[in-house]
Amino acid sequence: MSDDDTMQMKMELDPDDPMDQALVWVSRIATGEADANALAEFERWRDSDARHEKALNEARRLWLMLGEPLEAQYAPVMASLPATAAQRQRTRRRRAWRPALATAAALLLAVALGDQWHRDWRYDQTTGTGEQRTIALADGSTMWLNTGSAADVQVDEDQRHVHLARGEAYFDVAHDPQHPFTVDAGNGHVTVLGTAFGVRREGEHVVVTVQRGRVRVAGGDASAVFVTADEQVRIHPGEGVAQIEAVSAEQALSWRTGRLQFENRRIGEVLDELKRYDRRLMLVSYPQAEQQRVSSIVDLARLDEWYDTLEQSLPVKVTRIGPVVWIHAS
């Protein structure tokens, strides 16, 4: 998530909303930022409106689920509140440590840059959360890179090879019998001459879905299999290639159109999938999510509209607070 995205979400906080107010109070109290005067102010706020007590109970639950990440997101709100004498004294003590903090910050920045290089910059093509890219390859093929993905591409007149480091990609491959097109994704190795297919990698787990043509898939020491249109195969670490399954490739690869299609899927599965696309932090505390099933089409550009529909069709409440989407029983 970029700094701009984080800032935009922080600016979405509503200072007049009881839930946002409750979270600020829980944050101040839990982190020791509230002195006796602030606690008295807190009690007045809590008792002034019945909605405040209800919001406070929900805020406590959410705080226990989130902990420090929530504190970091609400720090700007807390900083805007009037400072007490004790807070001002703490601020003066912090200023005395600024040279050491600056050195520590520089070290943390170096570590962060190293992590970012390891995760993104060392690859030819990457996408962030919720981002999708279409890449024209030198041989006339096209690669679509889905959310949170990274790949190295080596396609020229002599070779056609893609290494999918993480995430998901779809390929529409130009036919060239003299130069097979290969995709390496962990334990999975895909070889085609000219076809359309998708590869999804999560760690060493790989899923290959074919939309058009014929694809050779190998994994581990197991024999290779050939997968054709509307078929899918999975590769698990240490197990090789699993049995080929019949699927709707249009549905399984619908992310290319900006929509996700789900048919008779558990709500928990649907929400897990949406976490890949929503830049906010999603928390789910809804026990029925593993039993109840839905069929739905989700427009990735209008996730909040789908959350609203979920509230209307099931006994759930979707609480959106700045950078957090909390789905819980109503």
Kindly report, residue by residue over 136-192, the tens digit of the pLDDT. 999 999 999 999 999 999 999 899 999 999 999 999 999 999 999 999 998 899 999
| Per-residue confidence band for 84, with pLDDT thresholds at 50, 70 and 90 | very low
Judged against a pLDDT cut of 50, whether residue 270 lies above it is answered with yes
Q: What is the mean pLDDT of the chain?
A: 79
- Secondary structure element (H or E) that encloses residue 30, with its range: helix 18-30
Judged against a pLDDT cut of 70, whether residue 284 lies above it is answered with yes
> Region 127-144: what's the mean pLDDT?
95
Which range, 80-94, 111-125, 222-236, 273-287, is most confident? 222-236
More confidently predicted of 66 and 71: 66
More confidently predicted of 2 and 129: 129
Kindly report, residue by residue over 177-230, the tens digit of the pLDDT. 999 999 999 889 999 988 999 999 998 899 999 999 999 999 877 688 999 999
Most distant CA atoms of the chain, gap in Å: 79
Which range is least confidently modeled, 6-10, 21-25, 210-214, 229-233? 6-10
Judged against a pLDDT cut of 60, whether residue 292 lies above it is answered with yes
What's the pLDDT score for residue 64? 67
d(CA 120, CA 110): 15
Please return the burial class of 242, using the count of CB atoms within 10 Å of its CB with bins 0-12, 13-18 and 19+: middle
CA angle 208, 212, 214 (to 5 degrees): 70
d(CA 32, CA 326): 25
- Which amino acid type is present at position 5? D
Domains defined along the chain, listed by start: 3-96 (no CATH), 126-251 (2.60.120.1440), 258-329 (3.55.50.30)
Judged against a pLDDT cut of 70, whether residue 33 lies above it is answered with no
DSSP letter at 83? P
More confidently predicted of 95 and 128: 128
| Per-residue confidence band for 51, with pLDDT thresholds at 50, 70 and 90 | confident
208: CB partners within 8 A, 6+ apart: 188, 190, 197, 198, 199, 215, 217, 227, 232, 233, 234, 235
Judged against a pLDDT cut of 70, whether residue 252 lies above it is answered with yes
Helix (H, G, I), strand (E, B) or coil at 264: strand
Q: Can you give the pTM of this predicted structure?
A: 0.69
> Region 278-284: what's the mean pLDDT?
84
> Region 42-71: what's the mean pLDDT?
72
d(CA 187, CA 86): 57
- Provide the percentage of residues in the chain whose pLDDT is more than 70: 75
| Per-residue confidence band for 250, with pLDDT thresholds at 50, 70 and 90 | very high
* Residue appearing with tokens 């003590």: 93
> Structure tokens of 145?
């890179």
Helix (H, G, I), strand (E, B) or coil at 56: helix
Q: How many other C-beta atoms lie within 10 A of the C-beta of residue 298?
A: 23
